[in-house]
């Protein structure tokens, strides 16, 4: 298949991802910079489908702009991964995207995430492509660095994108939905722990929304992950065991804080004592049932010191 055909196949796959992304040939790559009507139409559908799936709204994250051809280049690179040198060349053509407080760029960010998000979430990531290829995909898709995980070499940039995402229309809802989902990848869980701990210090209500969504939308899956982590603690804990428990650590810290401050009308947060609004406390959230989250917090508290210091 030529490069545009390969790109279209990956774009179609991204709308209903199952298994690894399709693989194809990368001949005539010059056409990727000027997608034909069929490819442009497929990209629009893929972007709209992803925007709906992640809850980004219309226009996606408040940006009415049209995505450029970068997502097509990314799709071709993913589909052509078996031709490693050619695929790396295509990937190098993807322009850097900087997501700012302005509208411009966020629709492009959703388009890139439409391709990169499912690819790096697949098992194995990007259909078994080399680790450096996966890292390069992440670097090319800023929204994916927040909703999935950042590249190992650049977590600081993802932190900035996170700050700006929280200010976008539907940005908080998109973040909550992404962070609430369980993952078998310890690197993804470690990043979500980082995000949740930041929310605990800056936006407690949003942090609690993540844990509520985790229980309401993914309760059985999280129960299975937590039980696996419990069994994993009988020996040398794996990175996945540690990361699973760390996901719940910010909630455990807040729970302990509320127990300590029980009966007070304020909470100590960054910058001093502030009045505690009902939505910012565990007890103020009727959907946070202690019978459901209590057992995992007990497990986390038992290993709190080692979890905070890098292990279990």
Q: Delimit the domains of the chain by residue range.
A: 1-180, 188-312
- pLDDT tens profile 92-151: 999 999 998 777 899 999 999 999 999 999 988 988 889 999 999 999 999 999 999 999
Residue 4: which of 94, 69, 50 has the closest Cα? 69
Give the torsion sign (CA, 257, 303, 210, 63): positive
Structure tokens at 38: 């069929």
Percent of the chain with pLDDT over 90: 75
Per-residue pLDDT band at 265 (split at 50, 70, 90)? very low
Count helices and strands in the chain by DSSP H and E runs: 15, 2
- pLDDT tens profile 214-260: 999 999 999 999 999 999 998 899 999 999 999 999 999 999 998 88
Mean pLDDT over each residue of the chain, to the nearest integer: 91
- Length, in residues, of the chain: 312
Distance CA 13, CA 37 (A): 18
Query: 98-102, 170-174, 198-202: which range is least confident on average?
Result: 98-102
Residue 193 burial (C-beta neighbours within 10 Å; 0-12, 13-18, 19+): buried
Q: In the prediction, which pLDDT does 274 show? A: 54
Which residues, in sequence order, are bridge partners of residue 268?
273
pTM of the model: 0.91
Distance CA 131, CA 185 (A): 14
Per-residue pLDDT band at 307 (split at 50, 70, 90)? confident
Distance CA 284, CA 262 (A): 12
- pLDDT surpassing 70 at residue 184: yes
């Amino acid at each position: 298949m030529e490069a545009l055909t390969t790109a279209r196949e990956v774009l179609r796959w991204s709308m209903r991802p199952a298994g690894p992304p399709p693989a194809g040939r990368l001949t005539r790559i010059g056409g990727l910079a000027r997608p034909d009507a069929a490819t442009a139409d497929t990209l629009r559908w893929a972007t709209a489908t992803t925007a709906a799936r992640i809850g980004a709204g219309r226009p996606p994250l408040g940006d009415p702009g049209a995505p450029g051809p970068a997502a097509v280049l990314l799709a071709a690179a993913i589909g052509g991964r078996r031709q490693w040198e050619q695929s790396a060349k295509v990937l190098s053509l993807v322009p850097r995207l900087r997501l700012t407080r302005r509208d411009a760029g966020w629709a492009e960010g959703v388009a890139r995430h439409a391709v990169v998000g499912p690819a790096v979430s697949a098992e194995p990531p990007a259909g078994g492509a080399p680790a450096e290829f996966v890292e390069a995909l992440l670097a090319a898709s800023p929204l994916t660095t927040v909703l999935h995980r950042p590249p190992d070499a650049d977590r600081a940039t993802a932190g900035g994108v996170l700050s700006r995402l929280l200010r976008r229309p539907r940005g908080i809802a998109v973040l909550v939905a992404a962070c609430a989902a369980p993952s078998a990848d310890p690197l993804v869980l470690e990043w979500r722990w980082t995000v949740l701990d930041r929310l605990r210090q800056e936006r407690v209500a949003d942090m609690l929304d993540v844990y509520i969504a985790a229980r309401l939308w993914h309760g059985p899956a999280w129960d299975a992950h937590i039980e696996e982590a419990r069994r994993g603690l009988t020996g040398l804990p794996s990175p996945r065991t540690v990361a699973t428990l760390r996901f719940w650590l910010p909630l455990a810290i807040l729970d302990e804080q509320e127990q300590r401050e029980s009966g007070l009308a304020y909470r100590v947060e960054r910058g001093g004592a502030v009045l505690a609004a009902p939505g910012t406390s565990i007890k103020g959230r009727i959907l946070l049932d202690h019978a459901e989250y209590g057992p995992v917090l007990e497990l986390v508290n038992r290993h709190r010191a080692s979890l905070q210091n890098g292990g279990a």
